[in-house]
Amino acid sequence: MEQLVYLNGEIVPYSEARIPVEDRGFLFGDGIYEVVRIYHGRPFAFDRHFERLRRSAAEIRLDLDIERLRADALDLIVRQGIEEATLYLQATRGVAIRNHAFPSEPVASVMMLVRSASAPSAAVLQNGVRCITLPDDRWARCSIKSINLLPNVLAKQQAVEAGCYEAIYLRDGYMTEGSSSNSWAVLDGELWTAPKSNYILGGITRDVLLELARQDGLPIREEPVPGWRLAAADEILISSTTSEVLPVVELDGRPVGAGRPGPVWERLYHLLQRAITVECRPELIEAR
């Protein structure tokens, strides 16, 4: 199946998709994005992603027809026909001669791509991942899912060069989130994660995990996690649409807890897998 691209209302072959050089996303990073995971051909937590897109658009004062984009996204998912995939959607403030101020009548430019994706490997689930901590040097509006990701890119690269999977940010001594994930710590049997604020992205996976954990009776603390407590954490986890939920077994070169994936991670992982099955493969549940 050839790779397709959705561009401003049309679905075209990848080789024919063109974005003008004066697109404000290219010039200024003046745009927002979403990443949705598709399992067995069906998008997971689709409504939540489009609600977040609506909020991001409102924050940057970008006029988007969310209902139309939602329908167009479903159409692209079906047309592209990849069972295990991600949908990437990017919306910018369109094309205009370079000037920082908004164009007088901006027309948003929207691009979507469906690409194949795979779940975290068995090795990653079995062995966990290593992370480093870094000072959170991003701006103060991290709740906007902005395409301005230069600090995140630099942090992730630093992690990769240190042989790690992710960089976990600390701001004013508190854990905020990862460069492309939300972060969690298990402290004295309670599951902690930073509360929603302008300093973190309100992750969809984070929202889903919080709901599942609460229903399952796990004690939750949506409170700032002091960085110094991470050294004594029983477990540290990261979550995102593409990584689902992963156990962090080493932080800054020191083992986390017992140095292997812990029971809270395992419980959350299975709760999430079940929620994915219920939403994207309901026939498997009904057949039982």
Catalytically active residues are: 145
**Cβ(83)–Cβ(41) under 8 Å?**
yes
Q: Are the C-beta atoms of 137 and 199 separated by less than 8 Å?
A: no
Residue nearest to ligand PDD (CB): 203
Verify binding: residue 170, ligand PDD, rule CB under 6 A: no
Does position 277 interact with ligand PDD (CB under 6 A)? The reply is no
Give the nearest distance from C-beta 245 to ligand PDD in angstroms: 9
- Residue 176, interface with ligand PDD (CB under 6 A)? no
185 to 204: interface string for ligand PDD, x by CB under 6 A: ----------------x-xx
Least distance in angstroms from the C-beta of 180 to ligand PDD: 4
**Residue 242: burial class (beta carbons within 10 Å; 0-12, 13-18, 19+):** middle
Distance CA 280, CA 71 (A): 18
Of 95 and 185, which CB lies nearer to ligand PDD in the complex structure? 185
Phi and psi at 71, nearest 5°, equal -65, -40
Hey, which residues between 28 and 87 contact ligand PDD (CB under 6 A)? 35
Which residues of the chain form contacts with ligand PDD (CB under 6 A)? Answer: 35, 152, 177, 180-182, 201, 203-206, 239-242
